[in-house]
Amino acid sequence: HILQVLLPMVRGWKAAGKPPMNVASVDIHKSYDTLKVKKVLEVVDQTLSEPDYLIKRFAAWTPRRGLRFIQKARPSSEYHPFMQEAEAIAATTRNGVLMDLVEYNYAKRADLMNLLSSHLEYNVVHMSNKHLLQTGGIPQGQGN
C-alpha cells in the first residue's frame, strides 16, 4: 500500500525540519468512466475551428516497434508535402522507414462533431440480457 511507503518518508521529512509537504494520491485507472461527455464535446467543439480537415495516413516501421500506422489531420487549407510531414515524424521515430500511404481523406467539421457526439451520447451497453444507454463517462470498448 502506498501509505506504508509514504508515511515514513513524510515523517523523515518533518523530522529534518523541511517545509510542509503536500501529497496527492490520484487513481486514474478508471478516469474515462467519470469524464463529463458534454464538457468533452464542448472542448472539441472549440478545438475544431476549421470547416474541413485533411486526414493523411502514413506507415512507420522500426525494429523495436514493428509496423504502426499514423494519421495526421490538419485544416484542409494547411496542406504539408510528404517530406515536411516525414521530418516531423522522423523527429520521434529513429532507425526506421516511413511510408506515405497516399490515403488522403477530407472530413467536414460538422460530420466529425456528429460522429463524436453519436459515439459519446448514444453508446448502448449490453448487460444481463438488457440494452442500456451509457449516460456517463467515455465508452472504452469491452471491459475485462
pLDDT tier for residue 45 given thresholds of 50, 70 and 90: very high
Average of per-residue pLDDT values in the chain: 86
Tens-digit pLDDT profile for residues 49-79: 999 999 999 999 999 889 999 999 999 999 8
pLDDT tier for residue 144 given thresholds of 50, 70 and 90: very low
Residue partners of 121: CB distance under 8 A and separation at least 6: 37, 41
Q: How many CA atoms lie within 13 A of 15 on its CB side?
A: 6
- Name the residue type at position 28: I
Residues 104 and 101: their CA atoms lie apart, in Å, by 9
Instruction: State whether the Cα torsion 83-51-41-120 is positive or negative.
Output: negative
Q: What is the pTM of this model?
A: 0.63
Q: For residues 75 and 10, which has the higher predicted lDDT (pLDDT)?
A: 75
